[in-house]
Structure 1
Amino acid sequence: MTVAATNASAPMRPQSRPRMAQFLFAAALCLAVAKLALPDGLVRPPDWLVWPFADWFNAVFSFIRDDLGLIHVTRAFADGLESVLDVTANLLYGKNRWPRLGPIPWSVIAITAAMIGYAINGWRLAAFAGLTFVWIAAMGQWQWAMETLSVIIVAAPVSVFLGLLLGTMGWKSARFRLVLNPLLNVAQSLPHFAYMIPVVVFIGVGAKAGAIVTIIFSVPPMIRMTMLGLQKVPSEVVEAGHMAGATRWQLLRHVRLPTARTELLVGVNQVIMQCLAMVVLASFIGMPGLGQKLLQLLQALKIGRSIEIGITIVLLAIMLDRCSKAWAVKQPVHLEKGTSWLMRHKLLVIWAALVAVFWALSLVFPILHEIGRRDALSLAAPLDAIMDWIIGTLDPVTQWLRWFLIVWVLIPLRDGMLWLPFSAVLVFLMAVGWAIGGKRSALVCLGYFGLIAMSGWWDRAMITVYTVTFAVFIATLIGFPLGIWGSRSKARAQAVLLVCDTLQTFPSFIYLIPVIMLFGVNDVAVVGAVVLFAAVPLVRYTIEGLRGVPEAQIEAADMSGATRRQTLWSVRLPLALPTIMVGVNQSVMFSLFMVIIAAFIGTQDLGQEMQRALSSSDVGKGLVLGLAVSFMGLMVDHLITVWANRRRRALGLS
């Protein structure tokens, strides 16, 4: 009887998941069709379901800030950080603070950047790094760029130190890691503005607030890479350290951390890029520099000047990315014992000599010290002329496209999303979760979007969902074919991936320039910016997935007489799909971030409310809105991760 029962129940388990998912899909459809007959409590979240999360957050923050006096600690820390920022500001652009030695001539900084590039990766990187600073000086953007770099120079080392410390603690303690990982998941899915609001409350505005929010934002990737690097240290290396009599500290300092060097330097690269991205966006809280200038120019619709600033930000991003990546892959050079000090430090000696020469020349030729606005170059006039011609030429197309998208796509899609009963959406998401991962995934979907319903921002969240859904759909139509085309040959894949690497270094603000230029300030521009930003990971992971298909599988298909198209659709794509879905996951996360950032050019979604919370320093409202965006991203991440793991197991890839 036991055997019979087992045999009878065995086939039901795999069938129960699709049956339950089908039932939930049908229930969601019935709720949507019967909307007019539903009670109000099933159409929109009833008052009793909306909890005052914002008030609770504000009460907690008020208690921490005022009753516990944390504001005095944060202000003291901010004042200490400001004194360090004053040093870099004095040296880089001459702010009247201690040590009152600056500003360093722009030519000296340019030659220093060139020498760093040469030391890391040779003449090409040296030329690129040096010419980047020549461009900045020649275009009259020196002070703005140095205001930006003066914060990055302080924030990046602090972020790296904190990331190393917390990452090491997470690696050593399983309990600490159990708490840390969920916090990192939420932190890395929160939009940028969610970090700014508490900082404004505790610190204020200005450069020190920009530095602190930059530190907070850029720490998580360093924590993750530190834990990953230390976990990957081979046990044989550790055993060798034990046999040599090393203490715990010596093992960490001289064995584990050097062995994890590559992962740690990849973390440093991510910290630097995150710092640049946040410093540019911190212009919303009074952070001076390139971001603030770009924001002012975009608001004034001065496209030519905006492009100039945009080029500078892009050059800085690419330079910092290339230098930090080259440092990550560069192996230490060990010279023979007895090598003279001069030979061991010849690049340092050459740099010191060049600094002395250029500093002396800058005293004789003031243009090598500072290029004033009168002497600076400007491409604004020709750029404006070119842009006017492009806009005039494309205007019939862009006008029609803007009209078509707004009238026939965006408004109907938005109205459709807002028309759906919230109960139907929740049941539909449960059905999707059940179909992919069973009961647990269904509850995860219900939990994330149930909390959004309880936040009181359901309609705004649905507008965000419609924008992201449509943008990711269009990005997929662009990125997927482009990725397939790029995977056709190794040379083509390398070229396209290089472009993707470059585009991913751009701070998100940059993607607003071309769409504002073509479409003005409206929802089409927002969708366009999101599409540009979200297409990059789709192209990248499509290429990596297709190029990563084992050659044996392709050869087997060729031997069976399959055409190239049949091999693509029947072999390459099925095997590459788990990797491609990672790109879809990143595309959704990028879209959520960009939608929130693009809110300043006119949307009615969560981003617009988050900017209002930022302007009124409403911590509770800002955190609730930020968590709503985070929950959307975490839900998609969960579903795609579960599906990809199942798919890999089915294909025997894991």
Structure 2
Amino acid sequence: MGRLLTSGRAFWLGLFVITWALSTWSFQLYKAFDARWIIRFPKHWELPLEDNISRFLNWLVESANFYFFTFKDLTRGIAAIIEAPYQILRNLLIEGFTTGYGDTAVLLAPSLGWVAVVVCVIAIGHYARNWGLAALVGGCFLYLAVFGQWHSAMITLASVLIAVPIGAIGGLFLGIAAFRSVWVNRALQPVLDLMQTVPVFAYLVPILILFGFGPVAALVATVIYAMPPMVRITILALHAVPEEIVEAGRMAGCTRRQILWKVQVPSATPTLMVGVNQVIMLSLNMVIIASMIGAGGLGFDVLAALRRLDIGGGIEAGLAIVVMAIALDRASQAFGARGQRPKRTGNLLQRHPWASTVALVILANLVLGMIIPALQTYPDSLTLTTGPFWADAMKWININFYDTFEAIKVVVLQGLLLPVKKFFSGIPWAWGICAMGLISWRIGGWKLGLMAALMMGFIAASGLWPKAMVTIYLCGVSVLIATVIGIPLGIWAAEKPNAGRVILGLMDTLQTLPSFVYLIPVVMLFRVGDFSAMIAVVLYALAPAVRYAAHGLRDVPEQMIEAGVMAGCTKRQLLWRIKLPLATPQLLLGLNQTIMLAISMLVITALVGTRDLGQEVYIALTKANAGQGIVAGLSVAFIAIVADRIVNALADGQRKRLGL
């Protein structure tokens, strides 16, 4: 064991020393041998993927013919199918139903109005759980009206109400197919990996080319982004159904189809609702990015505020998204935990009191709204705004703490960011591929090593090695800081329940804030550059490190803690020698999620001046260069996949060592 441990340390030390030496002397080697290929992959060997992908997409849209229809007809048909219910929802929530165009348009029926919508969500909250939830969701939607965010919020809600069913139902059926067929499961896993790790910006351009500019293209992008968790959770939920329940269904004479839909799916419903909840939250997280291709709503308000550096307007619109996310999140969680309830008896009103109440309120609102417009549209004179408060607060912080912030920025840049950036930027591409393969092989075996080497080779052969190293440096530093901050906070939350409620509540807020919202105060306080990007990434990626640390410590078996107490361990010894070692697999899972969020946020931080793969993806979007965007997006995805596999292999190894 001692020799094995020593050899392991020697391996890591030797790998680091070689990498450091090559990174330090790479530019000297380049100058001495006049060999640019040491630093950058030779230009004439690069893969011509960008042009080929762009040509293929152009052919698909302009020339692809399937005898009776073209590919463009197919995509436009899909767009029409999605747009019809979306427009109905917009009419129902905002615009009302009209006939005719322009000045000749005649209003057939008004929209529901804010009063009716608030009553509807209160009814849903009470039906899902109790009056407490009804008050919460009703208060959240009332907030949207009072603070002047109603119109934009209803556009966003219409998008969510279309994207979530498509994502949830599509994910459910794909998950069922993967559950039933090993081959489908094997084929789906890499696709799901790519869907979850390719930056959204990378596939916005192909979606624009295929579906055109507008809300439909935004809905398609949202569904692609939000569906993978539903697929994965469906597979896990169906596998988790106890075998004795399935066996009881077989003994009752159920066919395979009946066992699936009458036994397995109902038994897995609580877990499946977790997947629906994830689809809702990811759909809301997409609203800002989707606004870049025509979605509108709250996302467009945040994006417009970011472009104007309007701190007050951006935070106010961002808080509206958070409020809506909280309402939909709590309601969907309540439905997942609701279970079966006894059926009511009596007449129609007694059996369905809330449905009857909502119908009466809607009818009354439609009639009275024509007489009292304030029931239909919340009066502008009664709206409140917090925009000036946020703007003044940010201005005050800037004036009073500018020198302090600049000093911190300089220290972190000179003491941490620049040295780490220099180290990674100097790694020769050939050694970088070998080193990543060796690291992965040492942790997860030769298959993982080969996969990592091939993926890093793809990045180098695409001519993106320098930008990939900047991405890894920024992600690595951000994850390190998020972990150093997050794990102690998680320990505090687990050890002190009162503090835990505050800390985890703060993490809830950080997780529901759209990623773009972080950029506004960060840019106002720290200007643009790598430091600002790092701060935004740390804030966005902090929550998983905290949550998994708290969850892991709370899940330590009570008998292990009791054994430590009986052995005379102090509280500090219990924490460091029992709880933390046993919670290591959970801590590593938290690290995994922190890395994934950091990588996804790095693409957004291209807007504040980073020079990494995220910038490459964003430039491709602005130039509508699908090939460039897809290649850069795949490079980001490959970095994420390699990191994911390495951390998972570490977690699996730790579980085996602990006998878990």
TM-score, scaled relative to structure 2: 0.92
> Secondary structure, in 3 states, of the residue corresponding to 2:633?
helix
Instruction: Please identify, of 181-190 and 344-353, the stretch whose mean Cα deviation from structure 2 is larger.
Output: 344-353
1:83 maps to 2:80: no
Retained in 1: the 8 A contact 2:206–2:626? yes
* Selected match of 1:153 from 146, 158, 161: 161
1:348 maps to 2:344: no
Instruction: Supply the distance in 2 between the matched residues of 1:168 and 1:331 (Cα, whole angstroms).
Output: 22
Instruction: Supply the distance in 2 between the matched residues of 1:250 and 1:434 (Cα, whole angstroms).
Output: 45
- 1:531 aligns to what? 538
- 2:393 aligns to what? 386
1:245 maps to 2:245: no
- Map 1:615-634 to 2 at 5 A: 615-634=622-641
- Map 1:88-487 to 2 at 5 A: 88-94=89-95, 101-335=109-343, 340-373=347-380, 375-487=382-494
Judged with a 3 Å threshold, the aligned counterparts in structure 2 of structure 1 residues 553 and 318 are, in CA distance, closer, same or farther, namely: same
Instruction: Supply the distance in 1 between the matched residues of 2:457 and 2:594 (Cα, whole angstroms).
Output: 23
Retained in 1: the 8 A contact 2:200–2:221? no
- Give the deviation of 1:647 after TM superposition: 1.0
Query: Alignment RMSD, CA only?
Result: 2.5
- 1:43 aligns to what? 39
- Give the deviation of 1:20 after TM superposition: 5.9
Residues 570-620 of structure 1 show CA distances to partners (whole Å, capped at 9, x for unaligned) of 221111111101111111110011110121222221112211211222221
Instruction: Supply the distance in 2 between the matched residues of 1:19 and 1:403 (Cα, whole angstroms).
Output: 35
Residues 367-392 of structure 1 show CA distances to partners (whole Å, capped at 9, x for unaligned) of 22113545532222233223322222
Retained in 2: the 8 A contact 1:519–1:525? yes
- 2:579 aligns to what? 572
Residues 430-479 of structure 1 show CA distances to partners (whole Å, capped at 9, x for unaligned) of 34223323433332332222221111111111111121111112112211
Instruction: Supply the distance in 1 between the matched residues of 2:609 and 2:21 (Cα, whole angstroms).
Output: 35
Instruction: Supply the distance in 2 between the matched residues of 1:134 and 1:29 (Cα, whole angstroms).
Output: 58
Total equivalences in the alignment: 643
- Give the deviation of 1:56 after TM superposition: 2.9
Judged with a 3 Å threshold, the aligned counterparts in structure 2 of structure 1 residues 20 and 297 are, in CA distance, closer, same or farther, namely: closer
Retained in 1: the 8 A contact 2:394–2:521? no
Retained in 1: the 8 A contact 2:152–2:297? yes
Instruction: Supply the distance in 2 between the matched residues of 1:334 and 1:238 (Cα, whole angstroms).
Output: 25
Instruction: Supply the distance in 2 between the matched residues of 1:97 and 1:506 (Cα, whole angstroms).
Output: 36
1:67 maps to 2:64: yes
Return the letter of the residue paired with 1:78: A
Retained in 2: the 8 A contact 1:537–1:586? yes
Retained in 1: the 8 A contact 2:603–2:614? yes
Residues 148-192 of structure 1 show CA distances to partners (whole Å, capped at 9, x for unaligned) of 111111111111221122111111111111101111112111222
Instruction: Please identify, of 103-112 and 485-494, the stretch whose mean Cα deviation from structure 2 is larger.
Output: 485-494
Instruction: Supply the distance in 2 between the matched residues of 1:33 and 1:521 (Cα, whole angstroms).
Output: 28
1:58 maps to 2:49: no
* Selected match of 1:584 from 588, 591, 612: 591
Return the letter of the residue paired with 1:371: Y
Judged with a 3 Å threshold, the aligned counterparts in structure 2 of structure 1 residues 175 and 83 are, in CA distance, closer, same or farther, namely: same
Residues 214-235 of structure 1 show CA distances to partners (whole Å, capped at 9, x for unaligned) of 1222121111122222222223
Judged with a 3 Å threshold, the aligned counterparts in structure 2 of structure 1 residues 12 and 470 are, in CA distance, closer, same or farther, namely: closer
> Secondary structure, in 3 states, of the residue corresponding to 2:556?
coil
Residues 543-568 of structure 1 show CA distances to partners (whole Å, capped at 9, x for unaligned) of 11111222222222222222222222
> Secondary structure, in 3 states, of the residue corresponding to 1:569?
helix
- Give the deviation of 1:48 after TM superposition: 4.4
> Secondary structure, in 3 states, of the residue corresponding to 1:549?
coil
Judged with a 3 Å threshold, the aligned counterparts in structure 2 of structure 1 residues 149 and 122 are, in CA distance, closer, same or farther, namely: same
- 1:5 aligns to what? none
- Give the deviation of 1:41 after TM superposition: 2.5
> Secondary structure, in 3 states, of the residue corresponding to 1:280?
helix
Instruction: Supply the distance in 2 between the matched residues of 1:64 and 1:13 (Cα, whole angstroms).
Output: 56
Instruction: Supply the distance in 2 between the matched residues of 1:619 and 1:190 (Cα, whole angstroms).
Output: 13
Residues 35-74 of structure 1 show CA distances to partners (whole Å, capped at 9, x for unaligned) of 2236432322122442122223223333433324322201
Instruction: Supply the distance in 2 between the matched residues of 1:565 and 1:448 (Cα, whole angstroms).
Output: 43
> Secondary structure, in 3 states, of the residue corresponding to 2:191?
helix
Return the letter of the residue paired with 2:29: A
> Secondary structure, in 3 states, of the residue corresponding to 2:286?
helix
- 1:6 aligns to what? none
Instruction: Supply the distance in 1 between the matched residues of 2:619 and 2:439 (Cα, whole angstroms).
Output: 34
Return the letter of the residue paired with 1:178: R
Instruction: Supply the distance in 1 between the matched residues of 2:548 and 2:604 (Cα, whole angstroms).
Output: 24
- 1:32 aligns to what? 23
Return the letter of the residue paired with 1:93: I
Retained in 1: the 8 A contact 2:549–2:590? yes
Residues 266-323 of structure 1 show CA distances to partners (whole Å, capped at 9, x for unaligned) of 1111111111111221112222111111111111111111121111111011111111
Return the letter of the residue paired with 2:320: T
> Secondary structure, in 3 states, of the residue corresponding to 2:175?
helix
* Selected match of 1:508 from 495, 511, 515: 515
* Selected match of 2:601 from 591, 594, 599: 594
- Give the deviation of 1:30 after TM superposition: 4.7
Instruction: Please identify, of 288-297 and 74-83, the stretch whose mean Cα deviation from structure 2 is larger.
Output: 74-83
Retained in 2: the 8 A contact 1:503–1:536? yes
Instruction: Supply the distance in 2 between the matched residues of 1:574 and 1:97 (Cα, whole angstroms).
Output: 65
Retained in 2: the 8 A contact 1:362–1:369? yes
Judged with a 3 Å threshold, the aligned counterparts in structure 2 of structure 1 residues 385 and 20 are, in CA distance, closer, same or farther, namely: closer
TM-score, scaled relative to structure 1: 0.92
Instruction: Please identify, of 75-84 and 290-299, the stretch whose mean Cα deviation from structure 2 is larger.
Output: 75-84
- 1:652 aligns to what? 659
Instruction: Please identify, of 114-123 and 341-350, the stretch whose mean Cα deviation from structure 2 is larger.
Output: 341-350
- Give the deviation of 1:502 after TM superposition: 4.0
Instruction: Supply the distance in 1 between the matched residues of 2:549 and 2:225 (Cα, whole angstroms).
Output: 28
Judged with a 3 Å threshold, the aligned counterparts in structure 2 of structure 1 residues 100 and 73 are, in CA distance, closer, same or farther, namely: farther
Instruction: Supply the distance in 2 between the matched residues of 1:393 and 1:14 (Cα, whole angstroms).
Output: 52
Judged with a 3 Å threshold, the aligned counterparts in structure 2 of structure 1 residues 201 and 372 are, in CA distance, closer, same or farther, namely: farther
Percent sequence identity over aligned pairs: 36
- Give the deviation of 1:648 after TM superposition: 0.8
- Give the deviation of 1:636 after TM superposition: 0.9
Instruction: Supply the distance in 1 between the matched residues of 2:576 and 2:389 (Cα, whole angstroms).
Output: 47
